[in-house]
Structure 1
Amino acid sequence: MSLDVEFTKDGHVARVTLNRHQSLNAITPQMDDALFAAWNDINDDPDIRVAILSATGEKAFCAGADVSGATENADRRMALGGGLTGVGGPLLTLRKPLVAAVQGYVIGGGCELAMCADIVVAADTAQFGIPETKVGIIGEAGIMHRAMRQLPHHIALAMILTGERVPAAKAELYGLVNEVVPYADLSAAAERWAQKVAAGSPLAVQAAKDAALSRLGWPLDVALATRYEPIEAYASSKDRLEGRAAFAEKRAPQWQGR
């Protein structure tokens, strides 16, 4: 694991932290590889129920890809976020819920990385931006496709065409983030959201995420008629029996994730 990406596990929560604040947490190829390894580890660990993505330093969550070495790395196409975004590489689907805690500059690929999260908590210092056209660097269009799907039509196009940044308060108004808090409370807020997610049946949570997202771009009648394998598998799981028993016995369920 790259020193610029910290990866730890604490109980049922995995924590992935961009740790290159001196460079606005811009993602290098080595960080990209480390993120890819972290997402796969989270997917493969049955004890992990939720992940938190954050970054060190108050000035920026992430300024996107590090283009300072663009010449010597001309043949290297990063899958920004380690494949989570699908930019420059295969799209990696994170089956576990992801909470992003963002602050300061959340721009370019960093903005797309935040959009990949299921829940986004923002410090009141956060500024979201898609600067490609403004700075004259236009390549992969992943962030644009996500913006058009996650933001109101004209808001997304204004961000794409002008490169102007959207402050945290407006991002919350537009539905891009779930909660805005003072920077000092950002970590605690992300932890609170993660614990809310972890309190649910992990298999049910993962099945719900799969069902909600896998047919997002399909007509409603197709989505309603689809049989979802994770939901089918959950029907015969120990956790389903535990949920029913806990409800009948009026006690908190003890999930096993199996």
Structure 2
Amino acid sequence: MSSGILFEFDNHIARVTLDRPKALNSIDPEMDAALFEAWTEINSNPDIWVAVLGAAGEKAFCAGANVSGGTEGDGRRTALGGGLTGVGGPMLTLRKPLIAAVQGYAIGGGFELAMCADIIVAADTAQFGIPETKVGIIGEAGIMHRAIRQLPHHIAMALILTGDRIDAQQAERYGLVNEIVPYEKLTETASSWAERIASASPLAVQAAKDAVLSRAGWPLDVALATRYEPIEAYAYSADRIEGRAAFAEKRAAQWSGR
């Protein structure tokens, strides 16, 4: 991986860490390229079943972007966050579940990156904000479109129009985060969530994520009538056979991810 992030995985869990604490983990083009590599590895490696995105240092998860839509050496444009946000370049879809472990400032592009996760665990120090209007900068509006979909309408509009921040307790109240813990327990708690997800059938989890998110903006009748290829493919997988056998034999399933 390129510099700017740390990447490792074991026991089917990948850990991606933003590693520019002196710059409040703000994302520059080099980090975007490294994150793109990380998400690509997570998507393509069948031994990775779930990912955790964290950040170094206590002060900030991510304070946004130095340059949105960076360009890599081969000329390929990468959307902010290694492609996850779809801002500034093509959007990359992460097929595996993603947990964000957020501490301190998560503002601007950092807030948007956290919202790309499926689960958000927040330290009690976390603050979420959309500062664009307050500082007089309006570019691509991805963060606003996400906020209006993930927060109550009037809460999102207040954040967008004032540039003010909300703390972890408010974020939990509005349904933005799944759990608040002391900063000292943030990594442990995010890992616990990852382990719980990894204990389920990885192919079933991925198929469920694909089905839910691919039709999230569609009417219910369309979502119900859609045929989902990952779900259909799962019917012929070794994990489906193992799941049925484990249930019949009253034992824990030994998933292979195949």
CA distance in 2, matches of 1:77, 1:225: 35
CA distance in 1, matches of 2:2, 2:113: 18
**Hey, what does 2:219 align to over in structure 1?**
219
Gapped runs of 5+ residues in structure 1? none
Written as runs of structure 1 = structure 2, the 5 A alignment for 1:158-173 is 158-173=158-173
Name the aligned partner's letter for residue 99 of structure 1. Answer: I
CA distance in 1, matches of 2:175, 2:193: 16
**Hey, what does 2:245 align to over in structure 1?**
245
Name the aligned partner's letter for residue 45 of structure 1. Answer: N
Gapped runs of 5+ residues in structure 2? none
**TM-aligned CA deviation for residue 76 of structure 1:** 9.9
The answer as to whether partners of 2:36 and 2:78 remain within 8 angstroms in 1 is no
**TM-aligned CA deviation for residue 2 of structure 1:** 2.3
**TM-aligned CA deviation for residue 219 of structure 1:** 0.2
Name the aligned partner's letter for residue 11 of structure 1. Answer: N
**Percent of aligned positions with the same letter in both sequences?**
75
Name the aligned partner's letter for residue 208 of structure 1. Answer: A
**TM-aligned CA deviation for residue 137 of structure 1:** 1.2
SS in 1 for 2:82: coil
Name the aligned partner's letter for residue 246 of structure 1. Answer: A
**TM-aligned CA deviation for residue 66 of structure 1:** 1.5
**Hey, what does 1:65 align to over in structure 2?**
65
Runs of 4+ residues deviating >3 angstroms = 75-78
CA distance in 1, matches of 2:76, 2:244: 51
**Hey, what does 2:107 align to over in structure 1?**
107
Name the aligned partner's letter for residue 115 of structure 1. Answer: M
Name the aligned partner's letter for residue 210 of structure 2. Answer: D
**TM-aligned CA deviation for residue 10 of structure 1:** 1.2
Residue 185 (1) aligns with residue 165 (2): no
SS in 2 for 1:92: coil
Q: State the TM-score, normalizing by the size of structure 1.
A: 0.96
CA distance in 2, matches of 1:67, 1:184: 31
Written as runs of structure 1 = structure 2, the 5 A alignment for 1:77-92 is 79-92=79-92
Name the aligned partner's letter for residue 46 of structure 1. Answer: P
Indicate the larger mover: 48-57 or 77-86: 77-86
CA distance in 1, matches of 2:176, 2:3: 30
Superposition RMSD on alpha carbons, in Å?
Answer: 1.5
SS in 1 for 2:53: strand
SS in 1 for 2:216: coil
Name the aligned partner's letter for residue 241 of structure 1. Answer: I
**Hey, what does 1:256 align to over in structure 2?**
256
**TM-aligned CA deviation for residue 79 of structure 1:** 1.2
Residue-by-residue CA offset, 1:133-178 (whole Å, 9 max, x unaligned): 1011110111000001100000000000000000000000101100
**TM-aligned CA deviation for residue 35 of structure 1:** 0.3
SS in 2 for 1:3: coil
Q: State the TM-score, normalizing by the size of structure 2.
A: 0.96
